[in-house]
Amino acid sequence: MDRDAILLTPGPLTTTLRTKLAMLKDWGSWDADFNAVTAGLRERLLDIVHGQETHVVVPLQGSGTFSVEAAVATLVPHNGHVLVPDNGAYCKRAAKLAQMMGRQATVLPVPEDAPISAAAVEAQLKADPSITHVILIHCETGTGVENPLAEVAAVCERHGRGLVVDAMSSFAALPIDARRVRFDALIAASGKCLEGVPGMGFVFIRRAVLDGCAGNSQSLAMDLHDQHVYMGKTGQWRFTPPTHVVAALAEAVAQFVEEGGQPARLARYTDNCRTLVDGMAKLGFKPFLAPEVQAPIIVTFHAPAHPAYDFKRFYAAAKARGFILYPGKLTQVETFRVGCIGAIGRNEMQQAVNAVADVLREMGIPNGAPAL
């Protein structure tokens, strides 16, 4: 095969050659040239969320989950109480990390195939005035469901509660406008819809709450308030930055702007999703979610009911044809997931569908119909 496998996952993603080439230069972590790259990147990230007037953006080494943990520890005081509406695996992870950091956490269960209800969140806030913050997963990547950010943000603002948004799989694809939607923190990462490489997260923090975050975090390395203060004074990261990741992300953001920004990226991903779902339907596959709640980020499909189906064999056969799929994240039904994001378009999505058709033939499975 004369190309890398196409990553049909929620991250890491397939990247462009330009993004890969940006990693070929070595940078000094305290050098003025690298500090300028970091500063320029932070400015462009704020532009994407329209947050120049209201927010700062604080980068952090590590995977996206590092930044979720850092944001909760920095934004929520030790005696804080978070409400986590839960319709999937990443919601559960947010509740777990809040509890592990000693914060009180209340979980609001929601069916995995349904979006979170802003009315249910409001009822919970009315019933329990001790809740200080809501943690919302914007796009629950365990299934692909989009949760109603604007509606939940309005509820939190109305009741004077803080809002921490995990926008890991939505930022730069789904519209997020800090001028219209109030959030205390919003978290994303380099290796998702910006189409950089993994290794760096970043958190937008509302200026109005920033000073109150001093001393909240029990971690040295993951204290976003300290990171912000130090960067403001020196222009540098506190600890060794992921220099190649930062350079790659700066290049990826330049391409994002060239493409037309968030609306253009959403249009491409939506087309990818439609191509995938329509093509898989012709093979008999059924998506787990109803179309009206499906975000164009990652699609969960029911596994074929045929006795010859085995995900490990299915995965290996698809990989041999140049496509990396993703296992399911549900506990009740067997599924697998296919991402629609990354530096790919309709052609790659159609090729992926064709590869799945080949795999079914190889495995002796007539179609992908599930046991429903």
pLDDT digits (tens, 9 = 90+) for 246-264: 999 999 999 999 999 999 9
pLDDT of the residue at 266: 98
- Residue 229, pLDDT score: 98
* Domains of the chain by residue range: 6-10+261-363, 17-258
Task: Please determine, for residue 2, whether its predicted confidence score (pLDDT) is greater than 70.
Answer: no
Q: Has this prediction a pTM greater than 0.85?
A: yes
Provide φ and ψ at 65, rounded to 5°: -65, -30
**Most distant pair of Cα atoms in the chain: their distance:** 64
The yes-or-no verdict on residue 339 having pLDDT over 80 is: yes
pLDDT digits (tens, 9 = 90+) for 57-67: 999 999 999 99
Q: What is the mean pLDDT of residues 303-321?
A: 97
The residues, any chain, with a CB within 8 Å of residue 51's CB and separated by 6 or more, are 57, 178, 204
Q: Give tens-digit pLDDT for 26-76.
A: 999 999 999 999 999 999 999 999 999 999 999 999 999 999 999 999 999
Residue 106 has pLDDT above 60, yes or no: yes
Can you give the pLDDT at residue 344?
Answer: 98
Q: List all residues 6 or more positions away from 131 whose beta carbon is below 8 Å from its beta carbon.
A: 81, 82, 83, 106, 124, 125, 161
**pLDDT band at 239; cut points 50, 70, 90:** very high
Does domain 17-258 sit in CATH 3.40.640.10? Answer: yes
Q: What is the mean pLDDT of residues 304-315?
A: 96
- The CATH number that domain 6-10+261-363 falls under is 3.90.1150.10
User: Which residues have CB under 8 Å from 277's CB, separation 6+?
Assistant: 287, 291, 294, 299
Report residue 52 as tokens: 């120049």
DSSP code of 294?
B
